[in-house]
Structure 1
Amino acid sequence: MADRHGTGTALLAAALLSATVACAPGGEGGSRTPPPLPAASATPVATTGATTGATTGATTGGGETDVTPARPRTLVTGLAVPWAIAFLPGGDALVTERESARLLRVTPRGEVREIGVIEGVSASGEGGLLGVAVSPHYATDHFVFVYFTSQDDNRIVRYRYDGRLSDRKVIVSGIPKGAIHNGGRLAFGPDGHLYASTGETGERGMAQDRNSLGGKILRMTADGRPAPGNPFGTLVWTYGHRNVQGLAWDDRGHMYATEFGQDTYDEINLIEKGRNYGWPEVEGVGHRPGYTDPLLTWSPAEASPSGLAYARGALWAAALRGERLWRVPVDASGRVGRPTALYTGEYGRLRAVAAAPDGTLWVSTSNRDGRGSPRNGDDRILVVRPSS
């Protein structure tokens, strides 16, 4: 594996050359031999407390001297691959564990209670209990949603949660499943509709097939029907994705997604209705008609970007292979500025990032997923108070 701390001369040299890969061909951030680096297309900037090695399509002008937040606080220890975090109105969070299929409730004081084990989960490879989302109308409907891998497919199931889970309803089934690239992120957008990311399971062609649910971002109602205004009259919102792992919106309603590349570029994309994001025809910036280029790409050891959140004028992306938290400023038009890498190598693989009602970020580690090196207390949830 490449240098995990990102401070050596070799890594800095690579960062200055280009932004390359994401997750290994067989998985999410495994070791690999990187391909030759292309010519430089942008110069990263060293910021106080961290180094950056990403290539951006546009910048916001810089001027930041120290954006490093305070040290994270450990909220919870002893979890097993906490994959997703979603907040209830009162400030408690629902947390999924990928392999145990447990749905947990975690309080801001660090108290953990098992709500239940989700029925029908088949956890193998990168599959299992993945995303979770809480209805924006939770106060009246008490709906929570989970995305998981079953024996037959990936699916989205809705529950009513009022202290216990009830009224189970499968709202979307038939999402392709595989040993790798199962997507799995769930999030409600500012339009009130539910978005889900799906992977192409290693079968590249399905990402370009608009009749397939694989390699897409889906948009739906709370009943699992295509949301009004969807571009193709189906669940599909955007296509040409390899394996989207993070979804977030800024305070102006721009939608962003993190995506694992294959051998060259990991990405943050600005997600817009009906767009084709290129995979497998284009990876990274291609400048090809009909395909949408990413806002930002990363180099090999720095990324495998997973969870994504927006807070205080920036996107915050968790890196699995990169073992760091990225802060990426965004401007009013949705363009990104120079990223800053935080906590490099200190907590291992980072999986989920969620913005809490109190203004903090909750970040989960993923060191017990078979690709990390578990430390005493792993896996854990960290609390970060973001800087502006």
Structure 2
Amino acid sequence: MHRRDFLAAVALGGLGVVAACAPDSSSRTTGTPASDPSAPGTPAPSTGTATTVDPTRITTVASGLNVPWAFAFLRDGSALVTQRDDATVVRVVPGRPVTTVGDVADAAPRGEGGLQGIALAPGDESALYLYYTTDHDNRLIRMEFDGDRLTDPRPLLTGLDFASNHHGGALLFDSTGHLFVAVGDAAEPDVAQDVRLLNGKILRVDRDGRAAAGNPFGNEVWSYGHRNIEGLAFDSANRLWATEFGQNDQDELNLIRRGGNYGWPTVEGESDDPRFVAPQATWSTSEASPAGLAILGDRAYMAALRGRRLWEIPLAGESAGRPVDVLADTFGRLRAVAVAPDGALWLGTSNTDGRGRPVEGDDRILRVPFAAT
């Protein structure tokens, strides 16, 4: 059976297990900012009209890809892109054919796993970091990139629990060279509350994969109580934000704090329990299933899988305002999003992942300019 046919069968047969991507019977409206003081307890509308995105000028940068999961931009404006289901890294240059620069030999894509996160070390395009699934764990490795090929894989973090879903996978460097790694709960919710364990956490490590100095628990853990994070981004003040899949009710946009407990599995979505950091915005799982995250200026852009749209969220310091949905049902499932060096957004569709409805050209990378550009 072809891998994509297999994944489609898994998706149809396992909907009750993969609740974040499953049909949601909740009637809860979406886009509810936790900090909105105008009408406490009243959900905000899920749609709006104010957006900086110019949908009339969207162009296709690349097509025919296999579940593009994340981007790492090079100084020349091209991008290295992970393809989840065939575990390859490709180079995408606008106006040129896509080329493969390497693969991960021991990757074993299955379910929601495969080759996921990618990050280049700040100021060093020769050091590429990848997060992926093997036949027995999730792991973080470093590879050398000479400008044309990837070589010399070196494991940094291994033994991270895995299942058919909830891998996490997002990678993001800060300006000081510390790497944040999102690790899912591997479908074992209780691990998320144990700070001795690495699953269900955001980790902070150095370039060799060791616990970074200043971490709150003396190990790799930076924050905990997470279910499944696939998007990380810094705002203009270097605050860390994350998207998070809910289970049956609410997906989240969170402001990540050192040592913060984000509540899973005790709470999902909004909570007034003082033990937990409340989300800054929530959505029903039918309108989000949030994956990639990008932030430019005072706006966050969140790719939605099951929601089949892009969410634009205004940020005001440590608070999120009312989200606006863009491109609803225009390009199908959206997974990857990043701000390119020229200031436009790049979006990656995810219609060939076994849960989408592919059209000719899928999966694609799209260039989305802003209205002012």
Pairwise same-fold verdict (TM > 0.5):
yes
- Of 112, 118, 126, the residue aligned with 2:112 is 126
Amino acid paired to 1:90: D
Q: Tell me the secondary structure at the aligned position of residue 286 of structure 2.
A: helix
**What does the per-residue CA deviation read over 1:207-264, in whole Å, with 9 as the maximum and x for residues that have no partner?**
1111111110011001000111111111100000000110000111111000000011
Q: Cα offset for 1:371? A: 0.5
- Of 26, 50, 68, the residue aligned with 2:17 is 26
Q: Cα offset for 1:26? A: 2.5
- Counterparts in 2 of 1:25 and 1:352: CA distance versus 1, 3 Å: farther
Length, aligned pairs only: 348
| 8 Å contact kept, 1:132–1:186 | yes
| 8 Å contact kept, 1:217–1:239 | yes
Distance 2:27 2:314 in 1: 29
Distance 1:254 1:381 in 2: 27
User: After the TM superposition, which parts of structure 1 deviate over 6 Å for at least 4 consecutive aligned residues?
Assistant: none
Q: Tell me the secondary structure at the aligned position of residue 300 of structure 2.
A: strand
| 8 Å contact kept, 2:20–2:285 | no
Q: Cα offset for 1:28? A: 7.1
> 1:10 is matched with which residue?
none
| 8 Å contact kept, 1:146–1:158 | yes
Q: Tell me the secondary structure at the aligned position of residue 205 of structure 1.
A: helix
1:198 equivalent to 2:189? Answer: no
Q: Cα offset for 1:323? A: 0.3
1:90 equivalent to 2:67? Answer: no
Amino acid paired to 1:161: F
- Of 231, 254, 260, the residue aligned with 2:216 is 231
- Of 128, 133, 146, the residue aligned with 2:130 is 146
1:335 equivalent to 2:326? Answer: no
> 1:320 is matched with which residue?
305
Q: Cα offset for 1:116? A: 1.4
| 8 Å contact kept, 1:60–1:330 | no
> 1:11 is matched with which residue?
none
Distance 2:270 2:232 in 1: 20
**What does the per-residue CA deviation read over 1:105-133, in whole Å, with 9 as the maximum and x for residues that have no partner?**
11133531100121110111111111110
Amino acid paired to 2:231: G
Distance 2:19 2:274 in 1: 29
- Counterparts in 2 of 1:60 and 1:309: CA distance versus 1, 3 Å: farther
- Counterparts in 2 of 1:110 and 1:271: CA distance versus 1, 3 Å: farther
Amino acid paired to 1:111: P
Identity of aligned residues (%): 45
**What does the per-residue CA deviation read over 1:164-186, in whole Å, with 9 as the maximum and x for residues that have no partner?**
22232101111111101011111
Q: Tell me the secondary structure at the aligned position of residue 26 of structure 1.
A: coil
Q: Tell me the secondary structure at the aligned position of residue 206 of structure 1.
A: helix
Q: Which runs of 5+ in 2 are unaligned?
A: 1-13, 39-43
Distance 1:95 1:60 in 2: 40
Q: Cα offset for 1:58? A: 2.2
Q: Tell me the secondary structure at the aligned position of residue 181 of structure 1.
A: coil
| 8 Å contact kept, 1:123–1:149 | yes
| 8 Å contact kept, 1:318–1:350 | yes
Q: Tell me the secondary structure at the aligned position of residue 107 of structure 2.
A: coil
- Of 120, 140, 144, the residue aligned with 1:156 is 140
Amino acid paired to 1:130: Q
**What does the per-residue CA deviation read over 1:281-314, in whole Å, with 9 as the maximum and x for residues that have no partner?**
0111111121111000002321001000011320
> 1:189 is matched with which residue?
174
1:136 equivalent to 2:113? Answer: no
> 1:107 is matched with which residue?
93
| 8 Å contact kept, 2:81–2:118 | yes
| 8 Å contact kept, 1:28–1:304 | no
**What does the per-residue CA deviation read over 1:126-172, in whole Å, with 9 as the maximum and x for residues that have no partner?**
11111110110215xx1001000011110001011012222321011
| 8 Å contact kept, 2:246–2:285 | no
| 8 Å contact kept, 2:20–2:247 | no
> 2:292 is matched with which residue?
307
1:170 equivalent to 2:155? Answer: yes
Distance 1:379 1:60 in 2: 40
Q: Tell me the secondary structure at the aligned position of residue 144 of structure 1.
A: strand
- Counterparts in 2 of 1:93 and 1:287: CA distance versus 1, 3 Å: same
What is the TM-score normalised by the length of structure 1? 0.86
